[in-house]
Amino acid sequence: MIFLFFLGLFSPFSFFLLFSLVACTSENLKEKFDDEIKTTPDGVKYIVDSSKFLSGGPPKDGIPSIDYPEFISPAEADKWLEDNELVPVFKHRGVTRVYPFQIILWHEIVNDTVGGDPILITYCPLCGSGIAYNRVLNGKAATFGTTG
């Protein structure tokens, strides 16, 4: 091991990591982690109790969806949208909708009706992707919100 370390094949960190992995035998892990599947009173199965989780951001619906979007004419939008600004566009049944990033960035979800159909527009600012869905579930239009 010392010879390999000297040749540069092992850094001090990799030596520490290797030592740590060897030290963590299956018995040590069982003492630290109880991997028994438990069930809450309402039937939800879990290994890690939800009280151990820390919040990572806003709560459910802490980012408000747009449920009744209002649209303006292209001439009005020209006053505040730049010519080179990218925007998500959705075309359905002869209707074209534009959802400017300046707006959808702060909401992430738009519950819209396009061409008479309930449509869900989603945008993820972390990865820059937008997706459109039919928001009919069990024959009824559903309204979606953010998970937070």
For the chain, domain boundaries: 2-52, 74-141
Q: Please give the structure tokens belonging to residue 134.
A: 């039919």
Name the pLDDT band for 71 (thresholds 50, 70, 90). Answer: very high
The radius of gyration computed from the CA coordinates of the chain, to the nearest angstrom, equals 25
Neighbouring C-beta atoms of residue 136, cutoff 10 Å: 13
Amino acid sitting at position 19: F
> What pLDDT was estimated at residue 2?
42
- CA 83, distance to chain mean position in Å, is 29
Report the distance separating Cα 13 and Cα 19, nearest Å.
10
pTM for this entry: 0.63
Q: Is the pLDDT of residue 16 over 70?
A: no
Q: Is the pLDDT of residue 50 over 90?
A: no
